[in-house]
Every structure is written in structure tokens, then in C-alpha cells.
Amino acid sequence: MVKQLFRVLIASAILLAGVLAAGAEAAEQTPTTADAWFFRGGELASQGALEAAHNAFSKAIEMNARMAEAFVSRGMVHERLRRTKEAIADYTSALAINRNFAQAYNNRGMVLFRGQRFQPALDDLSEAVSLDGNNSSYRANRAAVYARLKNYDKAIADYTAAVLIDPDNADAYAGRGAAHYSRGDRSKAVTDLKLACSRGSEAGCRSLKAVNGRK
């Protein structure tokens, strides 16, 4: 469990923040273990070498077919390459190995959401929240699905939970502001959109300008 958590944290740092301090073997030599191929894939992904990263993660999977984190990382590469079906397949493979992998549920849910498969997306994101309710991004992602389904009360509740967990989650403020506006509460919408804009959300700034222009 500790080793798996370590891999998840590494994968997130690699693909979302683009930062990884790799060992000498992974950096300079041909990897000889699944973990080394996994780290090599992370390095390549952070450098934007996505096809090479895909191949490295595939090597890791060949050497350890039970490495759920490698499936998730390869799925994230597929997303960046706009290979939706392949991304979903990799996230599904990760979940077949570990049914309690919150990140895999979240990632698959967001792919489904972008494909307008809202109910399956909601199911996956609810699983992610159930497994890791203190993750601000998971809450905000589920809120986006609720908002798209026009269930604004639940959307606002999830966005509120997201900003309580992470007060700097600009996207959550922007989403909650949009939900308030859709529900007819302009005052709360403006308050949230100002908070989003002040935290660097371009979408929040655009929405704030649009709402103020409709006075």
C-alpha cells in the first residue's frame, strides 16, 4: 500500500506538475525494472515526449502487469494525445487491478464527462469522492457534472466542499459562481467569480466580465 501510494504521488507530480527527480539508472541507462521504466516514462512525459513516454509506461506494464499506476500514467498520456478510447481502457485496466484507486475513477470520469457521457461520469467521480473525500479536485470535478445536469444545489455543495478543502481552488470558485448565476443568484455569482479571477482563473475573469455586462 505504501509503495502504491508512493507511485501515485510520483505519477501525479510527473504528469500534472511536470517535476520528477529521477535516479541515475532511469536518467542515463536503459531501465531494467518496471519501476525504472515507470520513472523513465515520467521524465519523458514531463519533457513533452509523449510517444516515448507511452512506450516507457508500456514497458513497465510488460514487466509488471499488476502496476495499476503505470496504466493510469499511460492513460494520462493517451489523454494528452487525444486518444480517448485508449485512455478509458487504461483507466479501466487500473481499476481491474485495484478497485480502490480513486485517481483512476476520477480520470476516467473526466474523460467520460468530456465525451458528454454524464451519468457514467457522475458514477465514476462519485466513486473517487467516496474513496478520497478530501481531494478538492475530485469534488470540483463532480460538481461540474452536476452543474451540466442542471442539479445546481448539488453542484454548489460540491464546489463549496472543494474550496473548504483548498481555499485557492480557483476553478471551484469559478464553477460555483456559474452555478449561482444559473440558479438566478447574481450577487453570489459575482462574489465567487471575483474570488476565482483574483486566484488566476481566466474563465472566472471572463465570466465576471460577462455577468457585469448583463447588469
Over 60: is that where the pLDDT of 27 sits?
no
The mean pLDDT of 109-118, rounded to a whole number, is 97
pLDDT of 210 reads: 92
Confidence class for position 58, pLDDT limits 50, 70, 90: very high
pTM over 0.95: no
Q: Which residue has the higher pLDDT, 72 or 23?
A: 72
CATH fold group of domain 2-171: 1.25.40
Give the residue extent of every domain in the chain: 2-171
The answer to whether 155 touches 132, Cβ cutoff 8 Å, is: no
